[in-house]
Structure 1
Amino acid sequence: MKIAMGNDHSALELKNIIKEFVESMGHEVIDLGTNSTESCDYPIYGEKVGRAVASGEADLGIAICGTGLGISLAANKVKGIRACVCSEPYTARLSRLHNNANVLAFGSRVVGSELAKMIVETWLEAGFEGERHARRVQMIMDIEKREQNL
């Protein structure tokens, strides 16, 4: 799988750890930056990850900022993106099984590298269950369509 990754300055170190981990799992990583510790704006990188996934350039995305919240909000503004913030593996697993989340976000100031690896591994290994969840995911996507028509 191709995984798009983006981060702000606060998450550079964790992004590099997770990038190496994801590659060790046999996935290709598209690194969308930042690759600097100089202060930057997380919405830029959330949007980049969202656009890479929405366009099909990447299968899934991982976005990391201080808390995971800001970068996920930015990614979720891209049509077709269902970004989730996860600070533990259980929510990560269910975000894929039930919500078909296509972008995973977490915070470098919230989780350590070993927990982040567990979250990522769980999330990447889970797949969408479909069935009753497909109807609910479609309802979410319908909200997006209605918003575009306003």
Structure 2
Amino acid sequence: MRVAIASDHGGFDQKGEIARYMQDELACEVTDLGPDTGDSVDYPDFAAKVAHAVANGEADYGVLICGTGIGMALSADKVPGVRASSITSVPFAELFRQHNNGNVVCLSGRFVDVEDNEAIVKAFLTTDFEGGRHERRVAKIMELDEE
């Protein structure tokens, strides 16, 4: 499984640990798209990098980390083909995959500790899309990309 990861300064401290966790514990091929330091950066720039990697098929999934996860989710979701959401619990991660076929999870580096974020990432990456009645709804979401 190929996963692209990025953060802003609000998520930088957790990015390396979560990337290592995905590589070592979940056997993912992880591509770190930045930043390289914890200096202040603009989160839309890094959200776009991960979102485009997912939309273009360079990565199967994306992980973004900022202070709340909200700004990253707003930015990534603007890229056609991306279904991104700010997720703060394991049950939400599972439902995001099961019902919405989410492909970019956005995490809070300031309000959720790294162990909880690792559990969220594990749930996100190991939970399957249920399909069925949800396929119709996801198709309607994706039609919005055409507007």
TM, length-normalised to structure 1: 0.95
Aligned partner of 2:127 in structure 1 is 126
Aligned partner of 1:135 in structure 2 is 136
Alpha-carbon distance in structure 2 between the residues aligned to 1:98 and 1:22: 23
Alpha-carbon distance in structure 2 between the residues aligned to 1:22 and 1:62: 10
**What letter is aligned with 1:14?**
Q
Aligned partner of 2:145 in structure 1 is 144
Q: Residue 21 of structure 1: CA displacement?
A: 0.3
Q: Residue 16 of structure 1: CA displacement?
A: 0.6
1:9 and 2:9 are equivalent in the alignment: yes
Deviations 1:30-84 (A, max 9, x none): 1000121111000000010100000000000000100000011111110000001
Alpha-carbon distance in structure 1 between the residues aligned to 2:108 and 2:130: 27
Aligned partner of 2:72 in structure 1 is 71
**What letter is aligned with 1:50?**
A
Structure 1 runs (4+) deviating above 4 angstroms are: none
Alpha-carbon distance in structure 2 between the residues aligned to 1:134 and 1:110: 32
Q: Which ranges in structure 2 are unaligned for 5 or more consecutive residues?
A: none
Aligned partner of 2:58 in structure 1 is 57
**What letter is aligned with 1:78?**
V
Alpha-carbon distance in structure 1 between the residues aligned to 2:143 and 2:60: 21
Q: For the aligned residues, what is the CA RMSD?
A: 0.7
Aligned partner of 1:33 in structure 2 is 34
Q: Residue 143 of structure 1: CA displacement?
A: 1.6
Deviations 1:82-122 (A, max 9, x none): 00111000000000010000000011011001100110111
Q: Give the 3-state SS of the residue equivalent to 1:98 in structure 2.
A: helix
**What letter is aligned with 1:140?**
I
**What letter is aligned with 1:12?**
F
**What letter is aligned with 1:109?**
R
